């Protein structure tokens, strides 16, 4: 019986079309654009422009700018380290 409990499906709320096509509550969108290559031969490297857009409901209107910046910086730093572990 224990194996049946382990593989039983979770009960979930039925999703409506409005829920399915609504904007997500949280998201981190990262665009890497405008590659510019510098140097010659094996001394070449490429610069990229990185644009990030974050939406977090926890950053409400009555939160101070310093607090918002701190939370934003922590979030971006975490995701940057996850994507580019060589920069730690």
Smallest Cα–Cα separation from 26: which of 53, 50, 62, 51? 53
31 belongs to a structural domain: yes
Categorize the per-residue pLDDT at 61 as very low, low, confident or very high, splitting at 50, 70 and 90. Answer: low
5 belongs to a structural domain: no
Tell me, what's the pLDDT at 26?
Answer: 73
Question: Where in the sequence is the domain holding 21, given as residue range(s)?
Answer: 17-87
10 belongs to a structural domain: no
Number of domains comprising the chain: 1
Tell me which of 36 and 14 has the higher pLDDT.
Answer: 36
26 belongs to a structural domain: yes
71 belongs to a structural domain: yes
Query: What does the alpha-carbon distance between residue 84 and residue 81 come to, in Å, rounded to a whole number?
Result: 5
Query: What does the alpha-carbon distance between residue 72 and residue 54 come to, in Å, rounded to a whole number?
Result: 8
* pTM of the entire predicted model: 0.40
Q: What is the pLDDT of residues 27-55, one digit of tens each?
A: 777 888 899 999 999 989 899 888 877 77
Provide the 10 A C-beta neighbour count for residue 56. Answer: 14
Smallest Cα–Cα separation from 77: which of 57, 50, 48? 50
6 belongs to a structural domain: no
C-beta separation of 68 from 76 below 8 A: no
């Amino acid at each position: 019986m224990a194996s049946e409990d382990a593989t039983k499906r979770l009960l979930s709320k039925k999703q409506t079309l409005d829920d399915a096509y609504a904007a997500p509550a949280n998201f981190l969108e990262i665009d890497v654009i405008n590659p510019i290559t510098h140097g010659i031969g094996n001394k070449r490297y490429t610069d990229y422009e990185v644009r990030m857009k974050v939406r977090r409901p926890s950053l409400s209107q009555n939160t101070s700018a310093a607090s918002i910046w701190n939370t934003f910086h922590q979030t971006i730093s975490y995701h940057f380290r996850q994507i580019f572990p060589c920069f730690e």
